Structure 1
Amino acid sequence: MNRSRRTRRLLGAVTVGVVVLTVPACSLGPDDLPSVRAGVGETYDLSLEFTSVMNLPAGADVMMDGLRVGEVRSLQVSGPIVTVSAGIGSGTRIPADARAFVRQDTLLGDTYIAVTDEGGGAAGEYLPAGGTIPVSRTISPPQLEDTIAVLANFVNGGSIQRIEDVMARVNSVVPPLPAVRDLASVAALDMRDLAGRTEEIDRTLSGLNETALSFDDRTGALSAMFDSSSVHYWRRLAISVVAHIGQILPSVGSVYEGGLWMVPMLNSLADTGDVARGAWDEAPDTTVVLSRFLRSRIVPFAQKPSVDIEGIESAGGDQIVADAENLLRMLGAVK
């Protein structure tokens, strides 16, 4: 009897404990779990309006200048606007012209809000507690579907292949490495030469400056050349020149009509010019041959005249070089 009553009491106590633990657990969500990161201390409220926040969770970071300055408290949808309520550390002041972005550093990284200072507002103005960054100064992240569509279009649209083709064409046009090195060495030599002649450049610039100053000092005289009276003079001069040209043109026409006899002569002059041009083009080679002939033939003979007798034939066709040589040696003409 006592054992049965004690068992019933024990079962009742267990049931009451389970009910007490189960009822509060029904309202427990992921956002109610404590964060493993440290908080931001005392905070003040700040509202940020976005058109879309993708999958921004409550408790997400609010970053500014690479530092965590707050955290997202709640999100509220009001028509096309999503109002994000954030708690900002009391020691952090947000500029009045700040802009906000929803970012995700990596594909699987955490989503957070980045606040940046555009620097376009008045210095020393900051958002008060309870202030709002309107939707005009916030940028929402692109939809994941749009990002995937852009990537698919980039990969499947032939962009990578076109880039490879462009690189191949660039490689085919670019000269080989030795030529590039030669070009770089020449350019370096020119730059060094230019650097060593800065005095000449300064002198040229000084001359241009003095010329400009001279023009500036004579602006009165230059302006006088283009005043009303000068313009009238230039106009009359132009009319006179045109009138004289008009008188000359008929004479030119008569010379042209009566000068048909000059056509054969001009054709002969053209042929002579062609021949002269050919001779002019061949002049370097001819000059080289003539110079070689003078150096190898005329100059040595003029310095030491001599005759090289290769053979002497008699009336019968016999070679008598030995007899002639003995005769000349007896005469003392040769040694």
Structure 2
Amino acid sequence: MLAALCCCALTATTACSLGPEDLPSVRVGVGDSYEVHLEFAGVMNLPNGADVFMDGLRVGEVSMVTVQPDTVRITAELKAETQVPVDVRAVIRQNTLLGDTYVALDHDAIAAGAEFLAPGGTVTVERTSSPPQLEDTMAVLAYFINGGSIQRVQDAMSRINTVMPVPGDVQRLAAVVSTDLRDLGGRTEEIDRLLTGFDATAVAVDSRAQTLTTVFAQDAEHYWRRIGVNIVSYVAQILPSIGSVYEGGLWLVPMLNSLADMGGVLRDIWDRGPADAARIADFLRLTVLPFAENPAVDIRSVESASGEQVVADVENVLRMLGAVR
């Protein structure tokens, strides 16, 4: 009886001292290696033996995780041929929400003559990024799913689908616009000729800029006034009745004011013409043409007879959570 009690006590003591780190590892190790140290503000649930990746390749594994007063110090075994730049950035990542954690080493392009991390070197906490807590991530995801965001997106898509025109009308509109744009593209030589004419006119006006400045200068006001007086006097001599029209022509004032307003509107349209043309071109190039190439209506939600939105694709949600592959 005493021997049995001793065996039970020995077994219980041995079992209590056995932890996950005492179990044999299934990893093959890294072979010839050297140690580097990484300091993080927090490492979540990073285990010993976690992979270390750089440039998409496994270059080592975590050999020890030590908790310090202000940081968590990770000791990593890297393959002997691995060269880590001194300005490397370390971050703890997961392939999926519930997947295994690993350490990723990110760096910029390695220039000629760059320095590399020596064995026993340390990447300080200023150049590391700690992952968010799993509980916080799950809370944010739960708030997003249960807070009505997906429902609002579905409702918005439903309203958009209700105001969209009939598919047949969209296809006819797309066909007409496509034909017009194709015709416009086939007559680019006319546009080139028009632009060439504008360019020649601008060059001609610029070459006579000094003459135009002199003609329309303030000093030439007396010249233009004398020309106007002479023209009016000559016309008055040829048509004696123009004098009576000139004196009693107050009835023309409203018409002249309307013409002046119309000239102002035309001038405003002329000034805004290039900007409006650019906006129209962007609309045709970025909106109409992509839609004309592949017109379609995407249904994002299914509504039951009672008005409830039915979401049946549970597999996609589980895949987002990393529960299935």
TM-score in terms of structure 1 length:
0.55
Distance verdict in 2 for CA 1:173–1:27, change over 3 Å: same
Counterpart position of 1:170: 160
Counterpart position of 1:151: 141
Distance in 2, matches of 1:142 and 1:81, equals 15
Map 1:115-154 → 2, pairs under 5 A: 115-119=105-109, 122-125=111-114, 126-154=116-144
The one-letter amino acid of 2:24's match is P
Map 1:284-299 → 2, pairs under 5 A: none
Deviation at residue 90 of structure 1 after TM alignment: 1.4
Distance in 2, matches of 1:93 and 1:211, equals 64
Q: Which of residues 83, 86, 108 in structure 2 aligns to 1:96?
A: 86
Distance in 1, matches of 2:199 and 2:25, equals 71
Contact 1:48 1:85 (C-alpha < 8 Å) held by counterparts: yes
- Report 1 or 2 for greater relative contact order, CA contacts < 8 Å, sequence distance ≥ 6: 2
Distance in 2, matches of 1:95 and 1:31, equals 31
Distance in 2, matches of 1:141 and 1:239, equals 81
The one-letter amino acid of 1:130's match is G
TM-score in terms of structure 2 length:
0.56
Deviation at residue 81 of structure 1 after TM alignment: 1.7
Deviation at residue 22 of structure 1 after TM alignment: 9.4
Distance verdict in 2 for CA 1:203–1:45, change over 3 Å: farther
Counterpart position of 1:48: 38
Map 1:218-257 → 2, pairs under 5 A: 218=207, 222=209, 234=217
Distance verdict in 2 for CA 1:28–1:185, change over 3 Å: same
Contact 1:31 1:59 (C-alpha < 8 Å) held by counterparts: no
Q: Structure 2: give runs of 5+ residues left out of the alignment.
A: 225-247, 256-325
> After superposition, what is the alpha-carbon deviation per residue over 1:49-80, rounded to whole angstroms, capped at 9, x for unaligned?
21111000111001123321110111122233
Query: Which piece of structure 1 moves more, 202-211 or 32-41?
Result: 202-211
Root mean square deviation of aligned Cα: 4.3
Counterpart position of 1:34: 24
Distance verdict in 2 for CA 1:225–1:103, change over 3 Å: farther
Distance in 2, matches of 1:138 and 1:130, equals 17
Distance in 1, matches of 2:205 and 2:75, equals 66
Distance verdict in 2 for CA 1:205–1:77, change over 3 Å: farther
Distance in 1, matches of 2:169 and 2:144, equals 36
Contact 1:99 1:118 (C-alpha < 8 Å) held by counterparts: no
Counterpart position of 1:284: none
The one-letter amino acid of 2:88's match is A
Distance in 2, matches of 1:87 and 1:103, equals 18
Distance verdict in 2 for CA 1:239–1:41, change over 3 Å: farther
Alignment length (residue pairs): 230
Contact 1:46 1:85 (C-alpha < 8 Å) held by counterparts: yes
Counterpart position of 1:315: none
Counterpart position of 1:79: 69
- Give the match's secondary structure for 2:132: coil
Identical columns (%): 52
Distance in 2, matches of 1:76 and 1:215, equals 80
Counterpart position of 1:68: 58
Distance in 2, matches of 1:146 and 1:239, equals 82
- Give the match's secondary structure for 1:188: helix
Deviation at residue 35 of structure 1 after TM alignment: 2.0
- Give the match's secondary structure for 2:28: coil
Query: Which piece of structure 1 moves more, 85-94 or 32-41?
Result: 32-41
